[in-house]
Amino acid sequence: MNKEIMNNKTQLQGGCLCGKNRYRTTTMPFAAEYCHCRMCQISAGAVTVCWMDFKQEQVKWETHKPKEFESSEYVRRGFCDTCGSSLTFRDTRHPDYFTLSIATLDNPNLVQPTYHIYTESQVDWLTIDDKCKRYPKGQTK
Ligand SMILES: [Zn+2]
Ligand SMILES: [Zn+2]
């Protein structure tokens, strides 16, 4: 990871495949992780999803806000209703926090996940050879 780039003053930009939903952040994320849960896998159409976590007010929408799907009682998953890109995650029990997909950044190299969650459902054939901490379910502190 480029340490010069990774400082708290860095702003990030990204958006969906068609450009209808564009966001900008006012800071770097306070956390970033791989999620291997089945909900993320199916929702994004990918065997793992890399997420980055912000305070809600640190994320600004420059164009449209993504449409949201209620994937469970508390979880809302944001997507573009034109191109289908999976963009966001939020938990209504934690309204101060907002999560964006690292893959939707204009430059996904700027944010590197540092831990894995829900590795109990990581696919058998996927080998990720890193030293990051692994949590079988959600993160436990
Ligand atoms: Zn789109
Ligand atoms: Zn997940």
Other Cβ atoms less than 10 A from the Cβ of 75: the count is 16
Q: How far is the CA of 106 from the centre of ligand 1 (A)?
A: 14
Q: Which residues surround ligand 2, an ion (CB under 5 A)?
A: 35, 37, 40
Q: How far is the CA of 1 from the centre of ligand 1 (A)?
A: 28
Please report the pLDDT score of residue 43 as a whole number: 97
Angle at 14 between CA 11 and CA 20, to 5 degrees: 135
pLDDT higher than 80, residue 38: yes
Q: How far is the CA of 140 from the centre of ligand 1 (A)?
A: 34
Q: Which amino acid is at 2?
A: N
pLDDT higher than 80, residue 7: no
Q: Which domains does the chain have, with CATH numbers?
A: 15-135 (2.170.150.70)
Please report the pLDDT score of residue 10 as a whole number: 78
Mean pLDDT along residues 17-34? 97
